[in-house]
Amino acid sequence: MKTVSEIKELRAQVKSWHQQGLKVAFVPTMGNLHAGHISLVAEAQKHADKVVTSIFVNPMQFGANEDIGSYPRTMVADQQKLTSAGADLLFTPTADIIYPKGLDKQSYVEVPNVSEGYCGESRPGHFRGVATVVCKLFNLVQPDVACFGLKDYQQVQVIQTMVEDLSMPIDIIAVATVREASGLALSSRNGYLTEEELKIAPALAQNIQWLAEQLQTDTDFIGLAKKATNFIDNAGLTTDYIHICHARTLQPASEDDHKLVILAAAHCGKARLIDNLQVFLSK
């Protein structure tokens, strides 16, 4: 695997592959890689001849009181994992390369509707930062396909909507969440959890699963979400939100909807956990 940090080097390599008629897939990350990230690389390899990954801790998507300074950076270990996974190129830009004018003077991308509410409400400006950096990385890499994990379900919808609205010739592939045996969704932020917190953190996933089962026979969406919130809080977590939504628009679910998604977030110690589950009703 080749590692580059300069835009010129990145573009030269991708241009060479395209000139050879090779298809290029892209997996953007913020590093501190785990099995979930590696599953994205494996999926990307099914759809393309070459796989480009990136590691960039994007300052635009962090709020004033969030953890960018303490966000784990494990470049050497990440490079080893990507090499073992068979990635072809790793792009590791600095903030000065991505935002040469600084954040205050940087043009940005705003994706309405799907960016609002849920994590968009809890983390103001987060999805503006996500959409902007992904749009910029897409312009730099020029991939044919790009893979994103469904653990960040709202993020996937934001990126899919951006690609559609801006007519980008990129296929977005959503990849299933990788979980611990306990059901806890893999996340770089799980590293913040203590041994005791790791025992209670799976309550988020467990109660989403319970909620999904209830939805097959009960359409009291608000009442069920309140019950799930109580269960999660009683387990020792602090619920940020739990909502039942239309799977594509992310608007509150109605009784006529058949494809739903449960979106949830909760705090467990220093970690903010997010999770989701798609639900298909047979009615």
Rg of the chain in Å (alpha carbons): 19
Residue corresponding to tokens 């705003």:
110
DSSP 178: P
CB of 162 closer than 8 Å to CB of 151 = no
Active-site residue flag, 243: no
β-strand pairing of 2-4 with 50-55: unpaired
**Residue 264: how many CB atoms within 10 A of its CB?**
26
Q: How far apart are CA 171 and CA 277, in angstroms?
A: 22
Catalytic residue of the set 37, 246, 258, 267: 37
Q: How far is CA 24 from CA 18, 50, 53, 69, 143, in A?
A: 8, 5, 11, 32, 5
φ, ψ for residue 80, nearest 5 deg: -65, -45
Name the CA dihedral angle for 88, 30, 34, 178, rounded to a multiple of 10 degrees. -100
Q: Measuring CA to CA, which residue among 208, 213, 215 is closest to residue 241?
A: 208
DSSP 20: T
Output the six-digit token pair for 192: 């913040």
> Does residue 141 sit in helix, strand or coil?
helix
Q: Could you list the active site residues?
A: 37
